[in-house]
Structure 1
Amino acid sequence: MPPSTSSAGPAPGDIDTVLPADQAPDLDAAAHSSRLAQQRILASPKDADAWRTLAATYAEQAPTWREWSSAQHGYDWPVRAGLARARPAPWALELCCGTGEATAALAAAVPVVVATDLHAGMLAHCDDLPGVRWRTADVRALPYADHTVPLIVALNGVFHPPEVQRVIAPGGQVLWCTAFGPGTPLYVAPRQLHQRLGTDWGIACGRAGHGQWTLLTAPASRPSSRRSH
């Protein structure tokens, strides 16, 4: 069975206005080591110490991540709300999927999903879902050719703009979500997401549950990349 975080929740027309019954957890997000590491990566994408900090943090949390996230009602609502605004796509790449907290909602909206995470320990707790392939992947070196991915989705993911820019298809979309908005350790504000990807990208954003979603649309014409796979 999928985790309870992917249960039905409110109707699509209500998901932006209905709050979960519980309170958002206080994660001391502004001072969290993951927030500090994410901001360091945005300033210097090759900051090895910041990447090691993130890898160690989530490797340590992998054994208990599913139990904790499943207890957070409405955890995947931002993904559901954002997908309701996204264009249809033949397949989607999910980054930092964890134990699949948002994957069931994504699979219900897109025919084929490749759900990825750096940590095999996270993926070991994922459920088999129709149309979903689980694989390990590093957001710094995604195993896809330049400009070939029509839709990228992340819930509480590590934002690494160079690879997102490299793999996204012309006119493709990036749905970047946080379960608790600014209260999420791995939070990057919508304006900062937009600036990092490019001000020629389209942007729409909103709230759902305790969290936020940002939908960014790449220009129809993409520049050539310096690297490919």
Structure 2
Amino acid sequence: MDNMLEQKNNRSRYRLERQSLPEALAESLRERILSGEFKEGDPLIQEAIAAEYDCSRMPVREAFRQLEAAGLIVFKIHKGAIVSTLPSEQIMEFFELRAMLECDILSRSLECLSDEDLAQSEQILKRLEDAYHKRIIARVGALNWEFHRSLYRPAERVQTLAILEGINVHIDRYIRIQLVLTSAFEEAEREHRTILSMCKDRDPEVVEFMRGHIIRAGHNLVHALDNRRVSDATS
């Protein structure tokens, strides 16, 4: 009995909470950055954030470190934490990296995709289309990546998927901006449907179609973002 009690106490000693306060703060601030509430170059003041969330500055500092690691904020001397700004060239570089990696992993995955895999991809796509139709921008980025990832997972390229997920974090807020500025929902929906159909047919041409899909999205985003930045600078 004593041994059982001791084992129980040891287990409880190492039990982790599902989400710590810094993680919850980081997730909340991340969504506010991605949604555009905090814009490029906006300062994030520790004291103000702590007061807003009714907590001490320590979890805010840890949350800031997580956001910095994700590339969403940077620290500037004499300025503290500010929302990061990606030059258009770097945004396009991310899309070019996506095209290179996603086309490679899709070519490896194509012959491995089962009917069950494709049925799951279709269900995800339906949820993404629902978010398009209802203009639920906050869900679009995550569902877009979930759809793409579902087509790549059978390739079992763990490191490639991890890199692609990191890229998705960097560009998620810009994809949301693009959808708001260009209303590109219909084009995205049409191209995703084509990609899924070609995958169902195991059509190897889907790899080049995917490349065009990603590169076009990158160019459209950079064009819309450049126009917005010029407008913001002159307003």
The structure carrying a bigger strand percent of its residues is 1
TM-score, with structure 1 as normaliser: 0.26
TM-score, with structure 2 as normaliser: 0.26
Q: Which entry has the higher C-alpha Rg, 1 or 2?
A: 2
The structure carrying a bigger helix percent of its residues is 2
